[in-house]
Amino acid sequence: MADATMEARVTEVSVSAQRRAAPIVPERSVAGRTLVLLIAIMTFLSGVTLGGVVLVQKSAIAWSTDVGREVTIQLRPIEGEVMDSNIRTAIALAEATPGVTGAHAISLEGSQKLLEPWLGTGLDLSTLDIPRLVVVELGDPTDVDLSMLERDLAAIKGASLDTHSAWRQQLNVMAGTIVLSGVLVLALIVLATVLAVVFATRGTMASNREIVDVLHFIGASNSFIAGEFQGRFLSLGFRGGLVGGIGAVLFFLAVAGVSGSIVPNEANAQLNFLFGRFALGLDGIAGIAAVVPVIAALTAITSRLTVRRFLSQTS
């Protein structure tokens, strides 16, 4: 009989040994759901902001690079000048410039087509003297002496060189402003998250005062107590961050899908050409994924510092 009782106890102890010890700070004592939701929203907003910034920057860089690889020679019709001859001269001068990989003139039909968005279709433009364009392709935009080309072109009456620098500068300023705004919004979101976690931690500490006191009485260090709370908040931060991060990625996938299906293919192609595709790419998704552990770590560190401060004030 005694042996049976002992055996039962051993079994009970073995069972309890296999069970993971309950957390010292109970999960339900932390304002868990509310905090997870709040962190999820903050992570979503961070992810959307970050993704937006990445999209704008990628498009601006791509557009600027494309535009930067070409300059245009414009030849205005001038009485007494032979346009075809001037075009050939301009092409020759361009091709003789070091760093230029090629030059070609846009045909008359091509030039007329460029005017269609402004003048409409179906008009007879043959009576108008339309300026002609020569597209000059550059190898390395930084290694081309465009001032030399500009000087050479001065020999052709009515010729001028357009390097698109004003457009590129405007684009860079606009993209830079959007990126800066995004960074500012991210900083505000981080600040709001920190404040929310500080308040949540203080509330949790107040509602768990009994646990903190008991831990103090039995000889737990402030560091140990802070670690227990930090662990709880790290878990909440990670869960909230994961939900928000996945939400942000799904948002971009959905928007990319919707924009592709709503806008007609032709217009979509032009939009893609001008502004790039509305797709985050792997680097954008990786950026949003990186937000998740950052938010979780931020939550844990903030709660730890708040707890340490609380304990040092109350000890």
Q: Give the nearer residue to another protein in terms of CB position, either 6 or 187.
A: 6
Q: Annotate the chain with three-state secondary structure.
A: CHHHHHHHHHHHHHHHHHCCCCCCCCHHHCCHHHHHHHHHHHHHHHHHHHHHHHHHHHHHHHHHHHHHCEEEEEECCCCCCCHHHHHHHHHHHHHHCCCEEEEEECCHHHHHHHHHHHHCCCCCCCCCCCCEEEEEEECCHHHCCHHHHHHHHCCCCCEEEECCHHHHHHHHHHHHHHHHHHHHHHHHHHHHHHHHHHHHHHHHHHHCHHHHHHHHHCCCCHHHHHHHHHHHHHHHHHHHHHHHHHHHHHHHHHHHHHHHHHCCHHHHHHHHHHHCCCCCHHHHHHHHHHHHHHHHHHHHHHHHHHHHHHHHHHC
- CB of residue 283 to another protein, shortest distance in Å: 42
- CB of residue 26 to another protein, shortest distance in Å: 4
- CB of residue 24 to another protein, shortest distance in Å: 7
72 phi/psi in degrees, rounded to 5? -125, 135
Q: Give the nearer residue to another protein in terms of CB position, either 118 or 217.
A: 217
Q: Give the nearer residue to another protein in terms of CB position, either 140 or 210.
A: 210
Q: Are 200 and 30 in contact (CB under 8 A)?
A: yes
- CB of residue 13 to another protein, shortest distance in Å: 6
- CB of residue 207 to another protein, shortest distance in Å: 13
Strands 159-162 and 100-105: what pairing?
A: unpaired
Q: Give the nearer residue to another protein in terms of CB position, either 59 or 235.
A: 235
Q: Please report where in the chains the tokens 């465009």 appear, as a residue.
A: 146
Q: Give the nearer residue to another protein in terms of CB position, either 165 or 221.
A: 221
Q: Give the nearer residue to another protein in terms of CB position, either 295 or 307.
A: 307
Spatial separation of the C-alpha atoms in residues 162 and 68, rounded to whole Å: 11
- CB of residue 222 to another protein, shortest distance in Å: 8
- CB of residue 10 to another protein, shortest distance in Å: 9
Q: Give the nearer residue to another protein in terms of CB position, either 24 or 31.
A: 24
- CB of residue 22 to another protein, shortest distance in Å: 5
Footprint of another protein on this chain (CB under 8 A)? 9, 12-13, 16-17, 21-22, 24, 26, 29, 210-211, 213-222, 224, 315
Question: Radius of gyration of the chain from Cα atoms?
Answer: 33
Q: Give the nearer residue to another protein in terms of CB position, either 22 or 166.
A: 22
